[in-house]
Amino acid sequence: MATIRIPTPLRAYTDGASDIDVTGETVGEALSNLVDRHPDLRAHLFQDDELRSFVNIFIGDEDIRFMQGLETEIDAEDSLRIIPSIAGGRR
């Protein structure tokens, strides 16, 4: 079963768990499985069914944006990681 590592500020929505086992054959299916079980995560990961622009998904050191995005296939040994892009500015 693949795992997804949850960034610290979102662990409040996974009962404090940092690593969650997920089912699915693609990154998108794995994320759907994650938010189905932890629904409060959805608003912070997705906007209109698309990943929010500041939400990055890595498989190991690889950003899925440079792979096949949410269609990227995964296997049971894969470790996924949700990484927020931190950004800010005065206006």
Partner 1 sequence: MNVSLSCDLQREIFDQMEASYPNEGGGFLLGNAQDGIVSVQDIMQVENTFAEEEQYHRYAMTPQDWMRLEDEADERGLSLIGYYHSHPDSLAIPSEYDREHALPNFVYVITSVMMAKATEMLVWRLRPDRSAFDGGTLSIT
Is residue 3 at the binding interface for partner 1, with CB under 8 A as the rule? no
Instruction: List strands edge to edge, sheet with 19-22.
Output: 19-22, 2-5, 79-84, 55-59, 62-63
Is residue 50 at the binding interface for partner 1, with CB under 8 A as the rule? no
Per the CB < 8 A criterion, the answer to whether 22 and 32 are in contact is no
Single residue of 62, 63, 71, 73 touching partner 1 by CB under 8 A: 63
x/- mask, partner 1, residues 13-32, rule CB under 8 A, reads --------------------
Task: Determine phi and psi for 15, rounding to 5 degrees.
Answer: 55, 30
Single residue of 19, 42, 44, 69 touching partner 1 by CB under 8 A: 44
Q: Tokens 């995005």 appear where?
A: 69
3-state secondary structure of 79: strand
Structure-token pair, residue 2: 């693949």
Cβ-based nearer residue to partner 1, 53 or 75: 53
Q: Which residues bind partner 1 (CB under 8 A)?
A: 7-10, 12, 40, 43-44, 53-54, 56, 58, 63, 81, 83-91
